[in-house]
A and B are shown apart, each in its own frame.
Chain A
Amino acid sequence: MLSHKIAALCAAALFVPIVPAQTATLPAPPANGEMGFVFAHFAPAIHQGDQDCPDGPVATLRDNYLQTQAPAERLRLLEKPNEAELTRRWTGYAFGPQGTNICTHPDKFDRPPQRIVQGKVAQGLDLDGGADAEGCDHDPFTSPTGQAGVDNQMWRAMGCVRTWRGVDGTGGDIVRGLTQFLISGEHTQVLLLTGVDSLSDDPDVTVIYANSEDRAVVDAKQNFMPDASYTVVANAQHRNVLKGRIVGGVLMTDPAHIRLRQSWGQGSERDIRGKRTEYDMTKARLRLTFQPDGSLKGLVGGYQPIWNIMASASIGGEGAATTAGYDCAAMYAALKKLADGDRDPATGQCRRISSAMEVLAVPAFVNDTLPATRVAQQ
């Protein structure tokens, strides 16, 4: 089919050059060409560049409130005897009229964007091939290995947030939190590759990227055990069937709309959209490198709704603002400003933002009992 071939060619052109895997050390694929994996890591791809946040990390709500005050008043409030007053005033800054608060309703507050990443290097994939007629202008990053055209505006917007960025090469709380949610089964993700003839080069591999209701099987150190069994969810919405290929020991998939369940966070009544969140990535693709130990490492990239990026903070509601100190309105403003996908033709505002999730998948047995589903295509 012509459209099928065109899509494949376009997809091949969109990917940034890849670093070949150590294909000589890769194991042979199983005789039936079927390989299963469970995700042991799925979190924003972190890169801590030296020049990323020259003015420091993202300011807290308290800091931002103080900036709204005249210098003399600011100094007065910072005096120790006035701490109670300052606390009352900056926490009050988190609330608006009619019971709104800055994290549950960040779009109801007009605040300047938070500090964004100034560096030029980030992890990610080239999602738009340099230009997307449906997107918004932005400056692509260069990858840590020097590949240009990396689209990851999510990192640009969020990379100076303490709980994302982390320190000294270790990601922030969001990385640990999402890993813990994987362990507790909040968003178990599996991969099932079929038609694998070689881990080095195979032009045609079907990739089922799906959720499982099964809780992770972990060892005493909370590491995912290889060779555990997982069953794909019955809900076809969260069973994404992708077209893929293996080049130089790297598995890549064609762009597709990937949707995956995730149920971490609070109950639906506190969710800003009135329902539990899900990973919703358009023009999304996988780039995963086979490892000698049988695992897969790499990135999942795609355009996510800007609301999803700040789901954690928003679900936290007023507590996220007054306890964690998030200025969610500033966060929302930055995400809205940097959004680069799914432009609204009427307003010109982009509603999605390019993103990259770093992943590790370990070998597993995956039961896929659903009838064959059409391969998703862009």
Chain B
Amino acid sequence: MIRALYFLAALGLTACSAEKAPQSVSAEPSFAPLKAPLGQIVAMRRLTEAQYRNSIADIFGPDIRVAGRFEPIVRPVHELIATGAASSTISPAGLEQFDAMARAIAAQLFDADHRAQFMACAPRDVAAPDPDCAARVLVPVGRYLFRRPMTQEEVAAYVMMAGKATASSGDFHKGLELALAAMLVSPHFLYVVESAEADPESPGDLRLDNLARASRLSFLLWNTTPNETLLKAAEQGQLTDPSQLAAIAGRMVRSPRLEDGVRAFFADMLLFEKFDEMAKDQIVYPRFNPDVASALSEQMLRMIVDQLVTQKGDYRDLFTTRRTFINRALGPLYQAKVTSTQGWVPYEFAPGDDRAGLLGQAGFLALYAHSGRSSPTLRGRAIRELLLCQPVPNPPGNVNFTAVQDVTSTAMPTAKMRLNAHNSDPVCAACHKITDPLGLPLEKFDGIGAFRRQENGAPIDTAGLFEGVSFQGNIGLGKALAASKSTTECVAGRAFQYATGRVPADDGALAGGIEQDFAKDGYRIASLFLRVATMPQAYRIAAPPLAAPEIAMTTSKGVHP
């Protein structure tokens, strides 16, 4: 964080824990306004809530509270939030929330307890404007918030704003507070503004410039704002040099902070925002209490990180691994002994346990089920769409669900029997053939992901079918997914989309190419992320650029920025 390094800089020390607290406020170049004009803006991607929070924590410190509601970014159908962010606006109500958060953050920074850590100078008169001191405080902060040096116009405008607020309030720190709050609601903070330059390799075309590449790398790999090292590398033009880009990206994927990037990617790919709205019928599932609900997504993310980052494992093994994590809240759901009173502990399922793999986790099973019953169709559809990237059509509006909803039927005690009856309608059967053979193998797990031997007293048939291969249960399903090229092609394509925020026109071919490299590296997630972080196609600008940039700033008296 920035403030810790004030002291390090004062002591003449270097930041030895540079990854977690990478920012520093050196005299050069952070005090220098941007001399070169801004590049051609080619995309604007809104920060996600996690990215906003991580940015504030990294720049100002984890004790600065961020309290407020974040207007959600709409996910395009069958795409990622990362792609939705590229076309996301902010409503007036959403901006009010950002404004309230910004004011609260700024007030904390310049309160009596914190201000000394963020101020490189003392005002000549604490009750009067001091443009020089204001600039010395705001310019380095602005560089971190905007992920580039501020322009001279921006510096002048924010200093003017601080001065006017100081004059009216009689408090220099209140002036800084208002200026910082304004910076925090600037589009240049709330959006990752991607700018481009002429591509010397391909005359007439554009490529992302250095500063845009710094943001790309940082948000892709660490899900946070670029640190000092990265900004400096960008300012020195290293990120458009393929070999230096590869070296820097290589260091980043070897960092423990890759965990944050991997978490964010899979939370996006697996639609984790649905956990926020998941509800279960308390009459049917009294064991589904708030502690269980809040633990489900975290368990899945810990399993994913452990397999892909900590163990540096094969992505395909994510569907068969017996390793996971568990806490006291989840113990009864898994009927498992939890050896620690607090927090999470590693847990390994016994050989042959049908829980193995990502799909055996209660989070997946509960998320893709109805509030009062399991759903082979929802689970099968989720597998198709999220893990295989194979969109499934929505059902028509006039479907008769009577048979599948009769969950206490003695004539059709199991979901498979009820679906068979439902599928006597060929219109229904067409889609259920796609989904149900992937969902029925999970039927020994109920609507909250708890194991069950029977349904309504009847044995459960967990036979499944995928790509012509028959299997039994979740273990068989996991092996089938692990063996499928579609599984690895899907995650490879998603990674590219996640990095760039766009679905390329030649998506299939591109994903195939990425997948081949992914395969060569043993399907390691670090290799996949490194690939999409360094491949020239990810920085090539295919879409027509936006209008020429205009910074809506002025130093004219009475005109608000």
Contacts and interface: CB of A to CB of B under 8 A. Distances in A.
A168 interface: no
B331 A219 contact: no
B61 to A, nearest CB: 32
A93 B491 CA distance: 79
A83 interface: no
A226 B287 CA distance: 10
- Residue from the set A223, A226, A227 with the largest chain B CB neighbour count within 10 Å: A227
A214 interface: yes
A367 B339 contact: yes
Contact of B328 (A214, A220, A221, A223): A214
A190 to B, nearest CB: 12
Contacts of A213: 341
A229 interface: yes
A217 B339 contact: no
Nearest to B288: A220
Interface residues of A, number: 16
B332 interface: yes
A365 to B, nearest CB: 4
A231 interface: yes
A218 interface: yes
Contact of A227 (B291, B335, B339): B335
B134 interface: no
A229 B289 contact: no
B329 interface: yes
A228 B328 CA distance: 7
A218 B286 CA distance: 9
A111 to B, nearest CB: 46
Interface string A224-265: 011111010000000000000000000000000000000000
- Residue from the set A214, A221, A223, A229 with the largest chain B CB neighbour count within 10 Å: A229
- Residue from the set B329, B336, B338 with the largest chain A CB neighbour count within 10 Å: B338
Interface in B319-350: 328-329, 331-332, 335-341
Contacts of B338: 229, 365
B287 A365 contact: no
A358 to B, nearest CB: 24
B282 interface: yes
Given A225-B287, A367-B337, A220 B329 contact: no
Contacts of B328: 214, 217, 228-229
A219 B287 CA distance: 5
Contacts of B331: 217, 227-229, 365
A228 B330 CA distance: 8
A225 B332 CA distance: 7
Contacts of A218: 289
A225 B335 CA distance: 10
B286 to A, nearest CB: 4
B337 A220 contact: no
Contacts, number: 44
Contacts of A214: 328, 341
Nearest to B290: A220
Interface residues of B, number: 17
Given A214-B341, A365-B338, A367-B337, A227 B332 contact: yes
Contacts of A365: 331, 336-338
Nearest to B287: A219
Contact of A220 (B286, B339, B341): B286
A141 B535 CA distance: 86
B286 A221 contact: yes
A315 B337 CA distance: 38
A224 to B, nearest CB: 10
Contacts of A219: 286-287, 289
A223 B286 contact: yes
A217 to B, nearest CB: 6
B337 A229 contact: yes
A233 to B, nearest CB: 10
Contacts of B339: 229, 231, 367
A227 B336 CA distance: 7
A365 B347 CA distance: 15
B7 to A, nearest CB: 39
A97 B338 CA distance: 55
A221 B282 CA distance: 8
Nearest to B338: A229
Contacts of B289: 218-220
Contact of B329 (A217, A223, A226, A367): A217
Nearest to B285: A220
Contacts of B335: 227
A319 B70 CA distance: 48
Nearest to A36: B337
Nearest to A221: B286
Contacts of A217: 291, 328-329, 331-332
B332 A228 contact: yes
B59 to A, nearest CB: 37
Nearest to B335: A227
B84 to A, nearest CB: 34
A220 B340 CA distance: 23
Contacts of B288: 220
Interface string B267-299: 000000000000000100011110100000000
Nearest to A224: B332
A11 B247 CA distance: 77
A201 B341 CA distance: 34
Nearest to B337: A365
A304 B257 CA distance: 57
A367 B345 CA distance: 14
A62 B56 CA distance: 63
Given A217-B329, A226-B332, A365-B331, A231 B286 contact: no
A214 to B, nearest CB: 5
A147 to B, nearest CB: 36
Interface in A173-192: none
Contacts of A229: 328, 331, 337-339
Contacts of A228: 328, 331-332
A355 to B, nearest CB: 31
A229 B332 CA distance: 8
Interface string B41-63: 00000000000000000000000
Nearest to B286: A219
A221 B289 CA distance: 9
Interface string A13-47: 00000000000000000000000000000000000
A225 to B, nearest CB: 4
A228 B332 CA distance: 5
Contacts of A221: 282, 286
A213 B340 CA distance: 12
Contacts of A225: 287, 332
A231 B287 contact: no
A367 B336 CA distance: 12
A225 B286 CA distance: 9
B288 to A, nearest CB: 7
16 contacts: A214-B328, A217-B329, A217-B331, A218-B289, A219-B289, A220-B282, A220-B286, A221-B286, A227-B331, A227-B332, A229-B328, A229-B331, A231-B339, A231-B341, A365-B338, A367-B339
Interface of A: 213-214, 217-221, 223, 225-229, 231, 365, 367
Given A217-B291, A220-B286, A231-B339, 16 more contacts: A214-B328, A217-B332, A218-B289, A219-B286, A219-B289, A220-B288, A226-B332, A227-B336, A228-B328, A228-B331, A229-B337, A229-B339, A231-B340, A231-B341, A365-B331, A365-B336
Closest 10 pairs (CB-CB, A-B): A365-B337, A229-B338, A219-B286, A225-B332, A220-B282, A227-B332, A229-B331, A227-B335, A220-B286, A228-B332
